[in-house]
Amino acid sequence: MPSNPPAPRILIVEDDDAAARAVAAAARDLGALPTRVDSYEAGLAAASTGDHAVIVFDRMLPGGDGIEAIARLRATGSTALVLIVSALGRAANKIEGLERGADDYLAKPFDPDELRARLRALLRRAAMAATDSDLVAFGALEIRIKARTVHVGALHVPVSPKEFELISYFARNAGEIVTRMQLLENVWNLHFDPQTNVVDVHVGRLRRKLEQAAGRAVIHTERGEGYVFDPSRSDP
Amino acid sequence: MRALRRSASLRVTLAIAAGIILISLSAMGLQYQLTARALAARQAELLETDLDAFAANYQQRRIPALRQAVAFRSQTMLPDEAIYLLQDRAGVKLAGNIGGWPLGITPEGDRFEPAPVLDYRLPLGPGGTEIAYRGIARELPGGFRFLTARAETPREVTLAGLRAVILPVAAGLVVLALLAGWLTSRWVLARIGRINRLADRVAGGDLSARLPGDRPGDEFGLLETHVHAMLDRIEALNRATQRLSDLIAHELRTPLNRILQKIRTLEAPGPQKAALEAEIHATTRTFNALLDISSAEAAGGARPGLVPVDLAALAGELCELYQPLAEDRGMTLAAHLPETAMVLGERNLIAQVLTNLLDNAIKFCAPGDAITLTLAPADDRHLMVVEDTGPGLPEEIRAEVTRLFVRAPRDRQVPGHGLGLALVQAVATRHGARLSLPATGEGFRIEISWPGLS
């Protein structure tokens, strides 16, 4: 990270104390400054006055639905990323939320790790200017977006189209924990939880290919949480 | 006949026309009868007047007076209007305007009584045409025979004129009646058609559909108002149910979330905490499946919310997702898919169907088993078949395996809640797809026939 940027601010609009505490804890873990309000109107007011990187909105709030707030936020010119955290947690609810402008949607009950991973990804997106660069390089590991190829040095790593999408998503979140649910949602566009961990097998195959080519681990497993793509880190 | 049974419009048209025609024809028939009777009465009256006069003459001076009277009448009347004849006992004509006694007529009755009356025809018209007569023939004391009759021509001419008018009028009436019937049925049925189209839209899933414009105050307007009131009620109930399931979701998930957040802060061994967390996630999954099933069932057959989805592409993606897993477990997963197979659907729900079926297949199969996903056009549908060479479905639960929480006793050890196939069934119904679980010699086979998007 260049110089010391000010800590990003996160607005939490949530009427349930336990959920609000969990979100605030996750935000502080990530070095962000959480502010909490507990009603729809207060949420809208706070959102329009403060400069927030991420707004975490509940849906069934006293006074309104967080989904309805997104359009009103955008109308005021706010560019804050919106994470909906709601008990309306069926796949259909998630899809509705995403279609209506939410940047991410997390169902209650949520794992604190899952929440942290989602918040982290959003903070990263908020901090990062959109890069159009075709070449994404991590040392010797090079990903060419347009050509859809992966190289380690001069060595070409053959990947399937899905594996390429997988590695691209990992690369966008390099160094951060990425959960299985995030991968299912972003790479496979599936918003429900299959009973078997199909994702693990895919990540395992990609990991073996990269490890063979690079001679070291590129994708690391965080037990119980997810995966970290970090070509510079060496596993103990 | 079939058209008649199928079309209320045709029936109403014909019934109204038949009614109008029947009434009009009866009226005309009655008119004709009355006219005929009045004319007959008039003729009878003329005959009676003549008879009265002749009777008076006969009363005074018997035959000579009668002969004078007959001769006088014969001068003024032509035979095509009235005939008169008086003969003596030898058959010699004493007076009259016809040549002789007509053949086949036998005198009967008493002197100048009006009855009995005889009807007969004589060729006395111009050019020898036959004319119908109605009159009397009597034998008077002394063997004198007397005959008088009035021609029926005026009556027949009048009636023929009437008949000539009745036919074209009746034909015109039939046309007018059919037209009136058609217009009436069109007007009535158009009003009913409006309500039918509304019912179709509602049945198609658009609960908020209503008829535009004002309700007129008549019976149809009242019917429309009633239908609207019913629809308002259904919509309100539907919204209430939706709100209730949202509330249940909120009121159960929020405390589950609190528990989940607290588990992290507990002082307990990691595996124990993980087991608790897994328990909560499993509960949530069951919960989601139940809500998905009930909402798919509620929306069954409704079009709103459905978009074109390529079944072939989606099936391809999910096969690709499960392929490595199957391979790792020593099974083969093969897909036979066409280029495209468009249906009107909800991608997410269809993805859940495929996920459930492939998950099940991999869960129940053993190394060496083969799983096949086939998609093929069948008429205007797409037939999706998922089959495997695994243990198959126990026959005793085949019929009810798509119901909630139905599992085979032998599968107690296999994780699951018995909701997978229930969701598959609900999603199939939601999309108007037909599901069947044919009995197979070995292995499991499910067929889903999706309605194609033309």
My answer on whether B368 and B291 are in the same domain is no
Cα separation, B124 vs B169, whole angstroms? 34
A235 part of a folded domain: no
Residue from B256, B257, B314, B371 to probe the interface with A (highest A Cβ count within 10 Å): B257
Give the count of domains, chain B: 3
Chain B residue numbers with beta carbons less than 8 Å from the beta carbon of A179 are none
Residue from A189, A190, A208 to probe the interface with B (highest B Cβ count within 10 Å): A190
pLDDT digits (tens, 9 = 90+) for B137-175: 898 888 888 999 988 888 888 888 888 888 888 888 889
Chain A residue numbers with beta carbons less than 8 Å from the beta carbon of B278 are none
My answer on whether B284 and B377 are in the same domain is no
Per-residue b or e along B72-101, where b marks 16 or more CB atoms closer than 10 Å to that residue's CB: ebbeebebeebbbbbbeeeeeebbbbbeeb
CB contact under 8 A, A109 and B280: yes
Residue of B nearest to A115 (CA): B261
Residue B3: pLDDT band by 50, 70, 90 thresholds?
low
Top pLDDT among B126 and B308 is at B308
A84 part of a folded domain: yes
CB contact under 8 A, B351 and A192: yes
CB contact under 8 A, A18 and B261: yes
CB A200 within 8 A of CB A180: yes
First-to-final CA distance of chain B: 34
B140 part of a folded domain: yes
- Residue B290 makes CB contacts below 8 A (sequence gap 6+) with B404, B419
Cis amide linkage into residue B116, ω under 30° from 0: yes
Nearest-CA distance from B322 to chain A in Å?
A: 6
**For A101-123, what is the mean pLDDT?**
92
My answer on whether A143 and A173 are in the same domain is yes
Top pLDDT among B400 and B319 is at B319
pLDDT digits (tens, 9 = 90+) for B65-93: 888 888 898 888 888 888 999 998 888 88
Question: Which range has the top average pLDDT, A18-27, B162-171, B275-284?
Answer: A18-27
Q: What is the pLDDT of residue A169?
A: 93
User: Could you say which of B258, B264, B362 has the minimum Cβ distance to residue A196?
Assistant: B362
> Which of B298, B317, B336 is at the close of a domain?
B298
Interstrand relation of A149-152 and A141-144 (parallel, antiparallel or unpaired): antiparallel
Chain B residue numbers with beta carbons less than 8 Å from the beta carbon of A192 are 288, 348, 351-352, 355
Q: What is the pLDDT of residue B326?
A: 94
Give the count of domains, chain A: 2
My answer on whether B413 and B379 are in the same domain is yes
CB contact under 8 A, B324 and A110: no
Residue of B nearest to A92 (CA): B348
Cα separation, A231 vs A137, whole angstroms? 10
My answer on whether A48 and A153 are in the same domain is no
Q: What is the pTM of this model?
A: 0.68
My answer on whether A106 and A180 are in the same domain is no
CATH number of the domain enclosing B294: 1.10.287
My answer on whether B7 and B150 are in the same domain is yes
CATH number of the domain enclosing B50: 3.30.450
Residue A80: name the closest of A37, A112, A109, A47 by CA: A47
A206 part of a folded domain: yes
Q: What is the pLDDT of residue A3?
A: 53
Residue from B263, B288, B359 to probe the interface with A (highest A Cβ count within 10 Å): B288
Top pLDDT among B199 and B373 is at B373
Q: What is the pLDDT of residue A131?
A: 63
pLDDT digits (tens, 9 = 90+) for B333-364: 999 999 999 999 999 999 999 999 999 999 99
My answer on whether A109 and A139 are in the same domain is no
User: Could you say which of A90, A112, A188 has the minimum Cβ distance to residue B321?
Assistant: A188
> Which of B274, B298, B322 is at the close of a domain?
B298
Question: Is the predicted pLDDT of residue B210 greater than 50, yes or no?
Answer: yes
Q: Name residues 187-216 of chain A within 8 A of B (Cβ).
A: 188, 190-196, 198, 201-202, 204-205
Question: Is the predicted pLDDT of residue B9 greater than 50, yes or no?
Answer: yes
Query: ∠B95-B99-B100 over CA atoms, to 5°?
Result: 85
CATH number of the domain enclosing B364: 3.30.565.10
Question: Is the predicted pLDDT of residue B428 greater than 50, yes or no?
Answer: yes
CB A125 within 8 A of CB A217: no
A17 part of a folded domain: yes
My answer on whether A75 and A166 are in the same domain is no
CB contact under 8 A, A92 and B348: yes
Residue of B nearest to A202 (CA): B324
My answer on whether A188 and A104 are in the same domain is no
My answer on whether B121 and B86 are in the same domain is yes
My answer on whether A75 and A105 are in the same domain is yes
Domain range for A111 is 9-127
CB contact under 8 A, A91 and B258: no
Per-residue DSSP letters for A102-117? -SEEEESS--HHHHHH
My answer on whether B279 and B323 are in the same domain is no
Domain range for B423 is 307-451
B182 part of a folded domain: no
A3 part of a folded domain: no
Cα separation, B259 vs B280, whole angstroms? 9
Q: What is the pLDDT of residue A1?
A: 44
Q: What is the pLDDT of residue A4?
A: 65
User: Could you say which of A89, A108, A192 has the minimum Cβ distance to residue B352?
Assistant: A192
B114 part of a folded domain: yes
My answer on whether A122 and A30 are in the same domain is yes
CB contact under 8 A, B274 and A224: yes
CB contact under 8 A, A198 and B322: yes
My answer on whether A102 and A141 are in the same domain is no
My answer on whether B91 and B140 are in the same domain is yes
Mean pLDDT score across all residues of chain A: 88
Q: Is any Cβ of chain B less than 8 angstroms from the Cβ of A174?
A: no
My answer on whether A139 and A211 are in the same domain is yes
My answer on whether B279 and B329 are in the same domain is no
A2 part of a folded domain: no
pLDDT digits (tens, 9 = 90+) for B10-27: 788 888 888 888 998 899
Q: Which helix (H) or strand (E) holds B197?
A: helix B153-203
CATH number of the domain enclosing A147: 1.10.10.10
Chain A residue numbers with beta carbons less than 8 Å from the beta carbon of B254 are 16, 19, 87, 108
Per-residue b or e along A128-139, where b marks 16 or more CB atoms closer than 10 Å to that residue's CB: eeeeeeeebebe
My answer on whether B445 and B377 are in the same domain is yes
My answer on whether B98 and B245 are in the same domain is no
Q: Name residues 134-163 of chain A within 8 A of B (Cβ).
A: 160, 162
> Which of B247, B269, B298 is at the close of a domain?
B298
pLDDT digits (tens, 9 = 90+) for A63-81: 888 888 898 888 888 889 9
My answer on whether B426 and B342 are in the same domain is yes
Top pLDDT among B17 and A106 is at A106
A236 part of a folded domain: no
Q: Name residues 55-114 of chain A within 8 A of B (Cβ).
A: 60, 87-92, 95, 107-112
My answer on whether A99 and A191 are in the same domain is no
**For B272-293, what is the mean pLDDT?**
87
Interface A-B, measured as beta-carbon pairs within 8 A, has a size of 104
The sign of the CA dihedral A176, A177, A183, A184 is negative
Torsion of CA B348, B349, B353, B358, to 10 degrees: 10
B99 part of a folded domain: yes
My answer on whether A99 and A40 are in the same domain is yes
Chain A residue numbers with beta carbons less than 8 Å from the beta carbon of B288 are 89-91, 192
- Residue B399 makes CB contacts below 8 A (sequence gap 6+) with none
A142 part of a folded domain: yes
Q: What is the pLDDT of residue B310?
A: 95
**Which region holds residue B305: left if phi is over 0, alpha if psi is between -120 and 50, else beta?**
left
Give all strands (DSSP E) within B80-222, no chain letters: 82-87, 93-96, 118-122, 131-140, 144-151
Tokens of B373: 């996903």
Residue from B260, B263, B371 to probe the interface with A (highest A Cβ count within 10 Å): B260
**For B191-216, what is the mean pLDDT?**
83
Top pLDDT among A197 and A46 is at A46
The sign of the CA dihedral B336, B342, B346, B347 is positive
My answer on whether B114 and B32 are in the same domain is yes
